[in-house]
Structure 1
Amino acid sequence: MLDALGITHVLSVLNYPVAKDLSAYSTLQLPLQDSEDSNMLQYLPAAIKFLDGALGGAGPGQAAPGTEPEALEKVLEAPAGALPPVPAAAPGRARVLVHCQAGVSRSPTVVIGWLMHSRGLSADDATALVRRRRPCADPNEGFAAQLVLFGDMRCSLDPQHPVYRMWALEELGSRWESTGWLDPDAFGELPEGPAGMAAATAAGQTLYRCRKCRTLLATSAHVMPVEAAMGHRVFRDRNRHRRGGLPPSGGGSVEGGESCLFVAPVAWMAPTVTGVVTGKLHCPHCAARLGSFNWSGISNPQGAWVTPAFLLHAAKVDTVLPRPLEAIANVRRPFIPASTSTAPSAPASTSAPASSSSAPTPAPAASTTASTTAPAPAAAPSLPAALGKAVRRLGLGTAGPGAEEEEAGEQLPEPSLEGPDGEDQAGPASSAATGKAGAGSATTGAGAGSEGPAATSGRSLDSEPGAAGVGPSAACSVPSSSAASSSTSAWFSHLILDCDGVMVDSEAASCEALRRAILEVTGFDIPHAFPDDYVEVFGMDVRSCVAHYQQKFGKSEWGDPADVAPRVQAAKEGHYKELTAGGIRAFDGAKRLLRRALDAGIVVGVASSGAPDKIARNLASSGLAPLVPPAHVASAAHVAAGKPAPDVYLAAMRAAGCSDPRRALVVEDAVNGLMAARAAGMYCVGITNQLPASALGPWAHVVVRHLDEVDVAGLVPPAEWRQAAPPSAS
């Protein structure tokens, strides 16, 4: 009979062996079960390829007789009982038999899908066309819904389509209910190793990690788009047509409307979710509770029923975005106000005493600012109890009242304030009324009624007990105009600045580049909420960062940090260039500060933890390069140890020709950088671009909120500092 009909190809849609010998024909068998829950879509691509190969794709001269668009249109328009006859197959042309057991549901569904793909018909038109030729054709409701989805996917199988993904998950649940087990291949796999993580990042996948131990739990490829899929016909009347098995009452719901993620089952879940209907999900590494699962389903906070359900609570996972927020390299962080103990934001300068000979006419009396009671000297600065433990553990002094005992770990040593002869520079306070002899003749810090050529305003550092170590409370007063404008009156001969976070607004991009580089090289994703998670490494070079994270997270498998760091450094440079492709912005006030220094005859230099190419790019892109001689730039790449070791600042001093560190003024935004500068014996200004004054204060001599507050020509350290410096350095 097949030969009489001119059949050359046979497409069998049966889930059992075909009894007839079909060896004389070209054949394909699709093991599709006639069930509303069966995933028919997964077989359509193979069926379409087989039929196109036999009958030809769409297009003039390619389609088999009777399947051209014009012929199909005639069939659709013809009245019942007057259909045009099926044309005979031309010699040498193929004719295909598509069959199932009864020719009612499965085989018509396959033909309808082929017509939709090859002839551009809608699901309704293709179904109507098939029924014209075979009135008994009636795809079951599940197949009909899948054909609509097939049309929504542009007549192709898109595994990432939200509705298809949800449908595939339900089909997986159906298999579990039928058999009680699942093949291991049914569970999703996670990216492995540096190559896998790099591929996931390149594909734009979001990563979800255990908040406690950072173990990778899922990617965005595993997250089920519940809200996007639930309104589709595939899921309409789901409870009425629910597969046989456990009733909806066996399911659950998300408690309290908590934010959550529904995911496909992942390989690490297999030992937990097979064999039982419902239970809890725990991290495979640290056993922290992450969520729950239920093969009978869980209702999401919006009331949609997800079956089966594998749920991760958002509060238990960290979300790792594949890209930083748009223009992260150029977004200015919100201003962080200093603590209430911080002095008024007058320009950071002290009285540069002007002799009577340098001021031929009396200077007008300046109004005084409110004085602040000097704090008593302490062995270690006290920090607010509310300050994060990550900051307190950096060695920033002793935590204030209320700090947890478990956070009182080993701390870094306090900065040495000893002078060249071993004398403690934070010694007894000098008289507030009589200043000590310094670079010029000393003057009195009188009140509002003071007048005469030596009268100055504000609070002098000479009057602060232990002023060299009190940070933000060491406020400075505005110098007399003659002292501020005269380059010969400047105490500091050199201004040395950190680059990232001080001169240019690049810290966020630099941190993100570091995260990506470590992820690319090691496969481990460091905590990356900016700026909180980076406080511990602000100011460090890549070598120190790698060593820090290796020790903190116990990553001994990384090997020697000295071997890993060069690869991380190379990767970081590439990511940093990508992140800052739109340009790098100089902080407001950076150019003005550099020009003020140069106008006063002060030599400018840079001491940065960045690589030389990165420093040069930052300065060039921000427009600061013409103000900084390239020979005066020092990189941590050229010294034995990065910040908080003093090496890079000592190298910057040598490059800039500074022989006395107490004549060098440093501006830093990071605790590690301030520690490095103080270890080198320099005078430090901390700027709150990244951290609050309460964090910088214990290591900075002065804390400012803006670069315009740094009066480099008028800033004068306390008398103890000036007296400790060699006379030849003036």
Structure 2
Amino acid sequence: MPYLVREHLFIGNIGDAAEVLQHGSDEITHILSVLSSASISFFSEWRSGLSIPTKEIRKVYVGDSGNADAITDETKSSSAPKKLLYSLEYAGKDLKFIRMAAPLRDMENENLLDSLDVCLDFIEESRKEGSVLVHCFAGVSRRMVEDASLSLAYALMEGKQPRSSCAAIIAAYLMKTEQLSQADAIESLRQSCEFVCPNDGFLDQLKMFEEMGFKVDHASTVYKRFHLKVLGDCYNRGERIDTSKFGADPGLPTENISSDVDVSLTKGTTPARAYRCKKCRRVVALQGNVVDHVPGEGETAFEWHKRRSGNPFNKPDDQCSSVFVEPLRWMRTVEEGALEGKLLCAHCEARLGYFNWSGIQCSCGTWITPAFQLHKSRVDISSM
């Protein structure tokens, strides 16, 4: 049987979910599957001959907005297929269960943060309507030795704890609903089920979740750094970067700027900072697009020695000669897929800076990877 974590909230493995879907349950009404594949066929691949009836409700892809129920022909025929965010379906005996499947691999470089909102909302709504089982493949019980793959069995024999992606989801839910730290949430979960251990990458992302105030704040520096790392990892794996993941062009009219730009930064009592091309005055970035970094040790951080005059170190406020931003949709050279290159103004083509997916060292000495750099000498800084 699955483990009870909180009232109407269970954690288990793929075997527990299969048992519920095949034979029904007096308690569980909803299932959240956190598996590498969202398809129900994953169950039959896991156990030969297992057949579970389903009826699709909807599929939602990363980048979809507005009406999530409709998947257009344009989406299906796109040359760069979108990544599935989640699928929702009726499943199991008499199609009585509502199953959400979030395709997440239990790997350290997997993007957990971008799936948290939909998963946590599903858990919350499911608990209001009935009870929910959250499961992944590896499982959390002593029975895992019988059902697990060979690689997991070897890990157990070597004394390693199973790493559970569903545990990371539930830990995030406890963090949000009970205002627990990452460490306290994991410890609380282990009181219900001792055999859980999210991988290090998931633990790091749960710590980011805590730092953002138990929400995925796309406008925060914490998330922007993480998002850049995700894009950099994709580029290094040779994947084509989906430009829909770039920040909106702040130089477009306000009504055309999508919701991924924090327009609240342009309103309120404190005027937002805007960066404009010095030549044509086009807005190229807002303060909300800036990815802050901790200043390095100045010239001592460089391997070479520059000729110095007067004070060998710059003042802290003047230490960085550039500002680093998230990739934006006006950056045509970046869209073309180059490893590095110049950043040219979309209006007058004046050179504003440089980008490099492998990283750039700021004048303060800190390495930014990947880096999208605007030289302060090429832009004017003003208030919106």
The bucket for the TM-score relative to the shorter chain is: 0.5 to 0.7
1:96 corresponding residue in structure 2: 132
Summarize the Cα distance change of 1:146–1:24 in structure 2 as closer, same or farther, 3 Å threshold.
same
2:353 and 2:216 map into 1 onto residues whose CA distance is 31
State the Cα distance separating 1:10 from its structure 2 match.
Answer: 0.4
Summarize the Cα distance change of 1:55–1:313 in structure 2 as closer, same or farther, 3 Å threshold.
same
Specify which of 261, 268, 275 is matched with residue 208 of structure 1.
275
2:106 corresponding residue in structure 1: 34
1:43 corresponding residue in structure 2: 115
State the SS of the aligned residue for 1:208.
strand
State the Cα distance separating 1:269 from its structure 2 match.
Answer: 1.0
1:55 corresponding residue in structure 2: 127
1:176 corresponding residue in structure 2: 235
Summarize the Cα distance change of 1:102–1:202 in structure 2 as closer, same or farther, 3 Å threshold.
same
State the Cα distance separating 1:156 from its structure 2 match.
Answer: 1.5
2:294 and 2:353 map into 1 onto residues whose CA distance is 19
Q: Does 1:152 align with 2:215?
A: no
Specify which of 168, 171, 177 is matched with residue 112 of structure 1.
171
1:186 corresponding residue in structure 2: 245
2:364 and 2:137 map into 1 onto residues whose CA distance is 42
Summarize the Cα distance change of 1:140–1:304 in structure 2 as closer, same or farther, 3 Å threshold.
farther
1:127 corresponding residue in structure 2: 186
State the Cα distance separating 1:184 from its structure 2 match.
Answer: 2.4
1:278 and 1:41 map into 2 onto residues whose CA distance is 28
Number of residue pairs the alignment of both structures matches: 263
1:303 and 1:28 map into 2 onto residues whose CA distance is 46
State the SS of the aligned residue for 1:267.
coil
1:220 and 1:310 map into 2 onto residues whose CA distance is 14
1:117 and 1:180 map into 2 onto residues whose CA distance is 33
Q: Does 1:217 align with 2:284?
A: yes
Task: Tell whether the 8 Å contact from 2:29 to 2:131 is kept in structure 1 after alignment.
Answer: yes
1:526 corresponding residue in structure 2: none
1:53 and 1:195 map into 2 onto residues whose CA distance is 33
1:271 and 1:281 map into 2 onto residues whose CA distance is 7
State the Cα distance separating 1:47 from its structure 2 match.
Answer: 1.5
State the SS of the aligned residue for 1:217.
strand
Task: Tell whether the 8 Å contact from 2:333 to 2:341 is kept in structure 1 after alignment.
Answer: no
Q: Does 1:164 align with 2:223?
A: yes
State the SS of the aligned residue for 2:109.
coil
Summarize the Cα distance change of 1:201–1:134 in structure 2 as closer, same or farther, 3 Å threshold.
closer
State the Cα distance separating 1:182 from its structure 2 match.
Answer: 1.4
Task: Tell whether the 8 Å contact from 2:265 to 2:288 is kept in structure 1 after alignment.
Answer: no
State the Cα distance separating 1:30 from its structure 2 match.
Answer: 1.5
1:97 and 1:45 map into 2 onto residues whose CA distance is 17
State the Cα distance separating 1:171 from its structure 2 match.
Answer: 0.9
What are the residue-to-residue correspondences of 1:410-559 with 2, within 5 Å?
none
Specify which of 312, 316, 328 is matched with residue 266 of structure 1.
328
Task: Tell whether the 8 Å contact from 2:116 to 2:169 is kept in structure 1 after alignment.
Answer: yes
1:209 alignment partner AA: R
Structure with larger Rg: 1
Task: Tell whether the 8 Å contact from 1:273 to 1:279 is kept in structure 2 after alignment.
Answer: no
State the Cα distance separating 1:213 from its structure 2 match.
Answer: 1.8
Deviations for 1:34-81, whole angstroms, at most 9, x for unmatched residues? 23232212221212211111224xxxxxxxxxxxxxxxxxxxxxxxxx
2:111 alignment partner AA: N
State the SS of the aligned residue for 1:158.
coil
State the Cα distance separating 1:258 from its structure 2 match.
Answer: 5.2
1:5 and 1:111 map into 2 onto residues whose CA distance is 22
State the Cα distance separating 1:200 from its structure 2 match.
Answer: 6.6
1:188 alignment partner AA: G
Summarize the Cα distance change of 1:299–1:156 in structure 2 as closer, same or farther, 3 Å threshold.
same
State the SS of the aligned residue for 2:364.
coil
Structure-2-length-normalised TM-score: 0.62
- Say what the alpha-carbon RMSD is for the aligned residues: 2.8
State the SS of the aligned residue for 1:27.
strand
2:40 corresponding residue in structure 1: 18
1:298 corresponding residue in structure 2: 360
Task: Tell whether the 8 Å contact from 1:262 to 1:312 is kept in structure 2 after alignment.
Answer: yes
Larger strand proportion, structure 1 or 2? 2
Structure-1-length-normalised TM-score: 0.34
State the Cα distance separating 1:205 from its structure 2 match.
Answer: 3.0
1:6 and 1:44 map into 2 onto residues whose CA distance is 24
State the Cα distance separating 1:273 from its structure 2 match.
Answer: 5.0
1:274 and 1:178 map into 2 onto residues whose CA distance is 17
Task: Tell whether the 8 Å contact from 2:320 to 2:362 is kept in structure 1 after alignment.
Answer: no
Q: Which runs of 5+ in 1 are unaligned?
A: 57-92, 231-251, 323-730
1:116 alignment partner AA: M
1:193 alignment partner AA: P
Deviations for 1:432-489, whole angstroms, at most 9, x for unmatched residues? xxxxxxxxxxxxxxxxxxxxxxxxxxxxxxxxxxxxxxxxxxxxxxxxxxxxxxxxxx
What are the residue-to-residue correspondences of 1:367-386 with 2, within 5 Å?
none
Task: Tell whether the 8 Å contact from 1:112 to 1:130 is kept in structure 2 after alignment.
Answer: yes
Summarize the Cα distance change of 1:318–1:29 in structure 2 as closer, same or farther, 3 Å threshold.
same
Summarize the Cα distance change of 1:199–1:118 in structure 2 as closer, same or farther, 3 Å threshold.
closer
Summarize the Cα distance change of 1:25–1:196 in structure 2 as closer, same or farther, 3 Å threshold.
closer
Q: Does 1:307 align with 2:369?
A: yes
Q: Does 1:136 align with 2:203?
A: no
Q: Does 1:281 align with 2:343?
A: yes
State the SS of the aligned residue for 1:209.
strand
1:178 alignment partner AA: R
State the SS of the aligned residue for 1:293.
strand
Summarize the Cα distance change of 1:131–1:200 in structure 2 as closer, same or farther, 3 Å threshold.
closer
1:565 corresponding residue in structure 2: none
State the Cα distance separating 1:115 from its structure 2 match.
Answer: 0.9
State the SS of the aligned residue for 2:331.
helix
State the SS of the aligned residue for 2:372.
strand
Q: Percent sequence identity over matched residues?
A: 34
State the Cα distance separating 1:260 from its structure 2 match.
Answer: 0.5
